[in-house]
Amino acid sequence: MKGRNQKKCLADGLLMLKKPAGSPEKRLADKIEVDLIVIDLDGTLADTLPDLAAAANYACRRLGLPEHSPEVIRGMIGGGERRLIERLLGPAAPDRVEEGLHLYLDHYTRHNGELTRLYPGVAETLGRLAGRNLAVLSNKLERLTRQALAAMDLARFFTAIRGGGEGIPLKPAPDGLAALTADLGVRPGRTLMVGDKPADILTGRGAGARTAAVAYGYGDPDSLRAASPDFLLARFSQLPDLLAG
């Protein structure tokens, strides 16, 4: 019954989550005031899985290893490219991670964005948020993050774009978000972190930001709920409904 009720709430729209015991329940009429909205890329703005799977299976073929279905690869996403390749190769070829990573990055760089698709309402919603301070924080290498956003004509919406590869720990560590808010001169408490995985929620909370999870991406609703985001969205288009002003 709980799962059915949760699915109904998500189908109806915005699901507002309860805060920890002793705190008041959030209500639909509540709006939050923020100076910066930081958004994840893979699984939040766009379905990048087809391009990720194509690059991963290219690496497998070149290494003479079995390919994997997109659904299996979906479960490997998170923690950056190296972690993806480590999961992809598993115990079959742990000594070939560097070679596999090189093959993966070569293919992904040459085909980044070809099979990637925006989730419904993303471009329109970013347009509605014009005038607000928006940024992207991804575990994808920063050069690939920028390349993907450019391919989808989204880079123009963002004040800052941050990804992996700069020596800062990846999500769920809060360091990347903390550095981003510091660089932009925004207090973490006036920041909203939006993403599809528990790692995004943990990053936001660890940095002192508000958090919103999207239920349509690569994280499942149960794991997102367990991460206790401040808000859970069924659709990206509901994001402006959270914001005051």
Instruction: Report which of 112, 95, 134 is spatially closest to residue 243, judged by C-alpha positions.
Output: 134
pTM of the complete model beyond 0.85: yes
CATH of the domain at 83: 1.10.150
pLDDT score at 8 = 40
Q: How far apart are CA 236 and CA 121, in angstroms?
A: 7
Domain of residue 91, residue span: 49-111
- Rounded mean pLDDT, 142-150: 98
Do 107 and 125 belong to one domain?
no
- Give per-residue pLDDT as tens, 89-136: 998 889 999 999 999 999 999 999 999 999 999 999 999 999 999 999
Asked if 236 and 213 count as a contact pair (C-beta separation under 8 A), the reply is no
Domain boundary among 111, 130, 152: 111
Is 106 among the residues known to form the active site?
A: no
- Rounded mean pLDDT, 13-25: 44
In the predicted model, is pLDDT for residue 10 greater than 90?
no
Averaged confidence pLDDT in the chain: 90
Domain boundary among 87, 111, 135: 111
* Pair type for strands 46-47 and 117-118: antiparallel
pLDDT score at 176 = 98
Instruction: Report which of 240, 242, 163, 241 is spatially closest to residue 210, judged by C-alpha positions.
Output: 242
In the predicted model, is pLDDT for residue 5 greater than 70?
no
Q: Which of 12, 40, 106, 222 is catalytic?
A: 40
- Give per-residue pLDDT as tens, 33-57: 999 999 999 999 999 999 999 999 9
- Give per-residue pLDDT as tens, 201-230: 999 999 999 999 999 999 988 899 999 999
Question: How many domains is the chain built from?
Answer: 2
Instruction: Report which of 60, 22, 7, 65 is spatially closest to residue 234, judged by C-alpha positions.
Output: 7
Do 144 and 222 belong to one domain?
yes
How many CA atoms, within 13 angstroms, populate the side-chain half-sphere of residue 179? Answer: 17
In the predicted model, is pLDDT for residue 11 greater than 60?
no
